[in-house]
A = this chain, B = another copy of it.
Amino acid sequence: MTGAPARRRGRPPGAESADTRDRILAAAREEFSERGYEKTSVRGIAKAAGVDSALVHHYFGTKDQVFEAAVELAFAPALNAEALAEVPFAEVGERLTRFIFGIWENPVTRAPLLAIVRSAVNNEAAAAVFRRLVVSQVMRRVAGRLDLPDAELRAELAAAQLVGCAMLRYVIKVEPLASADVEQIVRRVAPVVQGHLTGP
């Protein structure tokens, strides 16, 4: 394939392509979070990763699909682990709140999160990725554990508290919330999340 990087010697091909894939994803995260969905192009991502555009298409497909792969990383702990299913019912609010603040506080996962928030408010394709990842995957998993007729609405109102906190603290940076100790926020927010999920 034209422009594909030459194989370095002495490394198995699998490791090489995993490296390239990771480099493309890292570049994509950077581009999407800096520029937002609309202004990011597959060509720009390829350039930042030092590969040919064709290779980006080869690994991921369309821009939409690169975007989804790039932001999925942030949610991987929630998507892969069945951890949430084992959390005692009374602790699910705190566990979910800690998970969300944890991925926002971590610089590695903050970039894809900024990318998805900045992109989803302005672009329908990115909004669809947001709905699929955050709501269908993370929140419905939580809702699935609630044996209540309005479980999905409950999960979404809990998500609204967490999304709003992330917006004001990490994106718009409103003080004193932006600089407050994360523990102090978790202590106030976790009971609200729990209340939405399991309250009367």
Contact = CB atoms under 8 A, between A and B. Distances in A.
Interface residues of A, number: 38
Interface string A122-145: 100001001100010000000000
A161 B161 contact: yes
Interface string A166-196: 0111011110110010001100110010011
Give the number of copies in the complex. Answer: 2
B121 A157 contact: no
A156 interface: yes
A55 interface: no
Nearest to A158: B164
A36 interface: yes
Interface of A: 36, 117-118, 120-122, 127, 130-131, 135, 152-153, 156-157, 159-165, 167-169, 171-174, 176-177, 180, 184-185, 188-189, 192, 195-196
